[in-house]
Amino acid sequence: MDNEVRHTDAAHGTDAVHAFDVTVEIPQGSRNKYEMDHSVGRIRLDRMLFTSTQYPADYGYIVGTLGRDGDPLDALVLVGDPTFPGCTVECRAIGMFVMRDEKGMDEKILCVPAHDPRHTSVQDIEDIPEFDRLEITHFFEVYKDLEPGKSVEGSHWEGRDLTYAEIAAARRRAAVRGD
């Protein structure tokens, strides 16, 4: 599959839905922070979260992108049940959580599985219940609280249009770097 494709969304009669692959590093509900070690192609345990929080969704990265932090663009995938580290999920973006941490701006793309009928009505960030957005916000605002030298200083949500603009920019950064 091309990493970004246009396909018809039969439920909405549109061909403007973009799909892309997300590689899951951390399953929903985990306190373990796994990261892909791209130099060896393996997932490594980075650390266990210092707080008692758990990842509110499957967490990984969008293949073929480069975020502003120098890593592939982070992604959260809303799935009914957790997947597993290394699982590839074809997704579409619905919004973006933007935060500032000790390293600078850090964008996290909120996604749903591209062909999951449970999410056909979910097209933009406002389609996600407010409580679910608050839960994700809370997680990212506190998950580094007990870690020395780490912090989160501010955050907000952006809609689908700005999200796809950031994905396109991250693809251009990856292309320039040769990824």
- For the annotated catalytic residues, the residue numbers are 106
Report the DSSP beta bridge partners of residue 6.
18
CA dist., res. 168 & res. 179, Å (int): 14
* Nearest one of 100, 113, 170, 167 to 140, comparing CA atoms: 100
In our burial notation (b when 16+ CB lie closer than 10 A, e otherwise), range 109-141 reads: bbbbbbebeebeebbebeebeeeebeebbebbe
Reported for 39-44, long-range contacts at CB under 8 A and 24+ positions apart, including other chains, are: 43/85, 43/86
